[in-house]
A and B are shown apart, each in its own frame.
Chain A
Amino acid sequence: MSATDLENAVDGGGADRTGGERVGRRALLGGLAGTAAAAVVLRPGLAIGDDQEDPRPLGTVPRAGAGGTVREVTLYAVAGPGNRLAYGTTPENASIPGPTIEAIEGDEIRVTLVNTTSLTVSLHAHGVDVPAADDGTPANGSVVAAGARHTYVWRTHAPTKRADGTWEPGSAGYWHYHDHAVGTAHGTDGITRGLYGALVVRRPGDPLPEKQFVTVFNELTINNSAVPDSINYSANLGQRVEWIMITHGVASFHTFHTHAHRWADNRTGLLSGDDDRTSVIDNRTTGPGESFGFQIIAGEHVGPGTWMYHCHVQFHSDGGMIGIFTVNNADGTPPPGHTEHMANHREMAAMMMSAGGHAAHGGSEPAKAQVAGSPTISQSDVPGGGDEDAHAGHEGHGG
């Protein structure tokens, strides 16, 4: 499958059924750092499982189909201005975070990493079945030299009962991938500079979202960005939103908090029913290398609004780890007070930055990097992704 095929697959995948928000608006906006969300390069079948019966009541939500497909992906590692590095399905559309890769349990993902940088880079996946030769680490030689390429094979499997009667868990999860070679043997510089992305493995029957947000707390940034260039998302009231949350960094732990939306603390963020005792939360501790995800209905039980999401570590949120999740009215028009609330948000963001922002916490490398962000890398109005930032938000809903 070529990159062009992938793009077509994206367009045909229907990840964003709202339409009308896919224009590459962000490409026009220079100097932005991260992206609201990354391209969905693989959208497994929307049909309810073709090959197997699912005893659960299915309702009307689209669900993941059966696994077993070999999915070929090409990722380009790209160096941009400002010391930034990113993955893209083409050299031109590289983004931070990189493209979201999706699969269904039973699928095999073959990712060919094309290294266009002058550094040795790699691709290391969490959660999936990876032979040592594709581990993506210098230790076993599975890194990619400047100008070279390597095809990483990631396999996935369904839950299986072992011969001894115990169960082997399936691969399904909100996972992620990242560089494991730049700077140190652990890819510390590569991650700091933007080489990371989301990897979603679904179980057949899992509900599929209408919109998908990828939020990466990378040390003291979100997606290598910070206020005033906050990573903002939007969805219409009632849309099923999938939020994938990944943490990276050299030392920091975080608590990811959403206003007015909550989820179950498990694989899917969903409860199985009345008897499911899993904690429901709106705040979760997360540290480097962790990831989780959940689905919410935008504005469910709370209505439209200009809702904050942020790290709840106080000095992190005060330092700029904050963004806006706008829940539009069901017809896509902005929620009441949106213009004023966004203006307030920007005003307070400016106050934070004038008070020091992240510089107050040591002027970390990511903070420097985001100042000189690359338009080449900051591509991306993408299907299924969040679509706006602090600057573009009003334009997107201005009508």
Chain B
Amino acid sequence: MEDTAVPPVRTDRFARRALLAGIVGTAAAAVAVPKVTAAAQDVSVKKGQAAVGGRTLDVTIYAVALPDGNFAYGYTPETASIPGPTLEMVEGDTLRLRVINQTGRVMSAHPHGVDYDIQSDGSLQTNTAIPAGEERTYIWRSHEGGMGADGVYTPGSAGYWHYHDHALNGSAHGTEGIRRGLYGALIVRRAGDPLPDVQNIVVINDANINNKVAPNTPTFTARQGQRVEWVVIAHGNSFHTFSLKGHRWANNRTGLISGPDDGAQIVDTRTVGPADSFGFQVIAGERVGPGRFEYHTHVALFWDRGVYGWFDVLESPAPVVTVTGIADGETYGDSLTKTVSWTVTGGAATGASSATLDGQPLENGAALRLWTLPLGQHELVVVGKGTGGDTTTTVRFTTKTSFADLQALVTSLPMSETTRAGLLDRVTRAAGKATSGSESGAISLLEQFISRVENQVRSNAEVRSVLLRDAQALIAELGALDAAEGGR
């Protein structure tokens, strides 16, 4: 249950979820890969969001007696845990849960929230519990919301639900099974719901959390900035107020608000009674920074007796942004094409980044034709996203032209070969004049160059304007040089 390891930063959550077929373990639970029997996912959903449902998920869990007198569900007998595996569905999915009863007693699994017919009720009264040594497959379905023909909307199945024993040792309501650990979280997501980086399951079971009392309750960890999902379930006979320090959420289905007009109450403490459940997502350390935050019942009677634990938000090193292709402070001839790319690395990098060049968005890996930029100073700003904050790197560079650049542009830009030959002649001769110290001669040839461009480069306005711009820039440069030298 103790989990002091730093959870991995999940850079491709959707792929991971698809791989796991929607079933993920928690800090407290085992992870297994159930068999997916349905067709592939609709891949139109965005990265980091729940996929579209409609799958049939075949999952097997075992119910076992633990050496300490507790009972537990697990994907294998060896990995059984309290709480049991967190089962996840997306609205539209069907979960076929095969429960293999190795407890040596009658027991069952009864879900909240999902659709099940009476054969999957998991109660003694309906003869749907599992005798010792036997197994049973419970079928839990889910559905999307929608407007009914009668004009009344039917809610979808999405919610932070749970499952528990309803029969152990002949208890009509599973009282003993629940008390001794036969419970787990069941999450039904709506397609498009954001997926978390980290998941914490807290079951306040009368006077304990996950059948543990502090200091043995789970210590959850996350890096600052990670999206952390909490699922809170209560069991037993007692009423509690679940409270999380340093973080807060909306009191609704997801814990998230839709916008500034969403009237949902924002809370950091919520009353829960037996079999109540809710969940929410927070950003670890958001606006409060890293540190050790307590989660606990706020009912002092239980709090003082150990119904609390810790949520460690670890400091998140800033990501490192490395830009290649363009260097800060450099000057580049405008005939060049530069491939500008960058990487964002470091333990806290989310993998996301964005960049602007002179205020305009720029794609990573873009081939930048410098002649398309105005001559002069440019600013490339790359933002690398990190869980604990972003890193912004600014690269300032200059583009200029020269006789060589103008020659190269005339050589490469589209125009008729006759025009190209005439222009190359003028710019080459102008370069020669300039080299020999005759600024006025060079200017004269460049003026001829300009005249030819104006008369002959008519079909491509972009080429025409960049040639004119560069020639005029050279003239201005030569003129300034001439003036500085007092004219010759």
CB distance from B182 to the nearest CB of A (A): 13
Contacting pair A281 B153 (CB below 8 A) = no
**Do the beta carbons of B145 and A274 come within 8 Å of each other?**
yes
CB proximity to B under 8 Å, residues A116-156: none
Q: Enumerate B199-256 residues with CB–CB distance to A below 8 Å.
A: 235-237, 239, 250-254, 256
The verdict on A272 contacting chain B, using a C-beta distance below 8 Å, is: yes
The digit string for B94-114, where 1 denotes a CB below 8 A from any CB of A, is 000000000000000000110
- 1/0 contact string of B156-195 vs chain A (CB within 8 Å): 1111010000000001110100110000000000000000
Assuming A60-B150, A277-B262, is B125 touching A345 (CB within 8 A)?
yes
Are A348 and B125 neighbours in the complex by a CB distance under 8 Å? yes
Q: Which A residues lie within 8 Å of B276 (CB)? A: 255, 281, 283-285, 312
Q: How far is the CA of A317 from the CA of B253 in the complex (A)?
A: 27
- Please tell me which stretch of B64-72, B267-275, B314-322, B377-385 contacts chain A, meaning at least 4 of its Cβ atoms lie within 8 angstroms of it: B267-275
A277 and B275 contact, Cβ closer than 8 Å, known pairs A260-B115, A270-B153, A314-B173: no
**In the complex the two chains form, what is the Cα distance from A56 to B150 in whole Å?**
12
Contact across chains for B112 and A337 when beta carbons are under 8 A apart: no
Give the total of A residues in contact with B, Cβ under 8 Å: 63
Within 8 A of B (CB), among A285-309: 285, 295, 297, 300-308
Q: Mark B249-287, 1 if CB is under 8 A from A, else 0.
A: 011111011100010100000011111111000000000
Q: Is B117 part of the contact surface with A, judged by Cβ < 8 Å?
A: yes
In the complex, B154 has a CB within 8 A of chain A: yes
Distance in angstroms between the alpha carbons of A285 and B276 in the assembled complex:
7
Q: In the complex, are the beta carbons of A314 and B175 less than 8 A apart?
A: yes
Pick the residue among B113, B148, B159, B273 that contacts A313 (CB under 8 A): B273
Q: How far is the CA of A304 from the CA of B119 in the complex (A)?
A: 11
Q: Is there a chain B Cβ closer than 8 Å to A2's Cβ?
A: no
Decide yes or no whether B123 CB sits under 8 A from chain A: yes
Question: How close is A371's CB to chain B, nearest CB, in angstroms?
Answer: 22
B147 close to chain A: CB less than 8 A? yes
- A279 in the interface (beta carbon within 8 A): yes
Asked if residues B149 and A60 are in contact (CB atoms below 8 Å), the reply is yes
Q: Is A264 located at the chain interface by the 8 A CB criterion? A: yes
Q: A278-B253, A314-B178, A344-B125 are in contact. Are A271 and B145 (CB under 8 A)?
A: yes
Interface of B, helix, strand, loop or mixed by DSSP? loop
Q: Which of A277, A304, A312 contacts B264 (CB 8 A)?
A: A277
The answer to whether B11 has its CB under 8 Å from any CB of chain A is no
User: CA separation between A274 and B153, bound complex, in Å?
Assistant: 9
Q: Contact string, A255-271, partner B, CB cutoff 8 A, digits 1/0?
A: 10101101110000011
Q: How far is the CA of A267 from the CA of B70 in the complex (A)?
A: 40
CB distance from B136 to the nearest CB of A (A): 16
B152 on the interface (CB 8 Å rule)? yes
Instruction: Please pick, from A56, A240, A304, A313, the residue contacting B118 in the complex, using a CB distance under 8 A.
Output: A304
Q: Is B141 among interface residues, defined by CB-CB distance under 8 A?
A: yes
Known: A260-B116, A280-B158, A302-B115. A307 touches B121 (CB 8 A): yes
Name the B residues within 8 Å of A284 (CB-CB).
276
B307 CB-CB contact with A under 8 Å: no
A277-B252, A306-B118 given; A255·B275 CB < 8 A: yes
Give complex CA distance A227, B173 in Å. Answer: 14
Q: Please determine whether A285 and B159 come into contact, CB atoms closer than 8 angstroms.
A: no
> Is the beta-carbon distance between B151 and A344 smaller than 8 angstroms?
no
B151 A255 Cβ-Cβ under 8 A:
no
With contact pairs A57-B147, A61-B150 given, residues A279 and B237 touching in the complex (Cβ less than 8 Å)? no
User: Cβ of A391 < 8 Å from any Cβ of B?
Assistant: no
Q: What chain B residues lie within 8 Å of A271 (beta carbons)?
A: 145, 153, 155
Partner pick for B155 among A264, A312, A314, A348, CB 8 A cutoff: A264
Residues of chain B contacted by A303 (CB below 8 angstroms): 117-118
> Which one of B237, B250, B273 lies within 8 Å of A285 (CB-CB)?
B273
Contact A344 B159, beta carbon cutoff 8 Å: no
Flag whether B89 is at the interface (Cβ < 8 A): no
**Contact in complex: B275, A312 (CB < 8 Å):** yes
- Rounded to whole Å, the gap between the CB of A231 and the closest CB of chain B is 16
Smallest distance from the beta carbon of A226 to chain B beta carbons, Å?
Answer: 14
Chain B residue contacts of A43, Cβ below 8 A: none
B55 on the A face (CB < 8 A): no
Which of B159, B179, B271 lies in contact with A280, CB distance below 8 A?
Answer: B159
Task: Find out whether the CB atom of A285 lies under 8 angstroms from the CB atom of B155.
Answer: no
Give, as a whole number of angstroms, the nearest-CB distance from A55 to chain B. 12
Q: Which of A272, A297, A317 has the most CB of B within 10 A?
A: A317
Cβ of A308 and Cβ of B237 under 8 Å apart?
A: no
Q: How far is the CB of A303 from chain B (nearest CB, A)?
A: 5
Select one of B152, B172, B175, B278 contacting A315, CB under 8 A.
Answer: B175
Check A307–B118 contact: CB distance below 8 A: yes
Q: Of A61, A274, A277, A348, which contacts B152 at CB under 8 A?
A: A61
Contacts of B178 in A (CB 8 A): 314
Residue pair A302, B258 in contact (C-beta under 8 Å): no
CA of A272 to CA of B121, assembled, Å? 29
Which of A207, A310, A337, A352 is the one whose CB lies under 8 Å from B127? A337
At the interface, yes or no: B124 with Cβ under 8 Å from chain A? yes
Most chain A CB within 10 A, of B141, B150, B156, B158, is at B150
A263-B155, A280-B158, A281-B113 given; 15 more Cβ-contact pairs under 8 Å: A59-B152, A60-B151, A253-B239, A272-B153, A277-B262, A280-B113, A280-B155, A281-B159, A312-B274, A313-B236, A313-B273, A313-B274, A314-B274, A315-B175, A322-B173
7 nearest A-B residue pairs (beta carbon): A59-B151, A305-B118, A312-B275, A285-B273, A301-B115, A61-B150, A255-B273
Chain B residues within 8 Å of A, Cβ to Cβ: 112-113, 115-118, 121, 123-127, 141, 143, 145, 147-159, 161, 171-173, 175, 178-179, 235-237, 239, 250-254, 256-258, 262, 264, 271-278
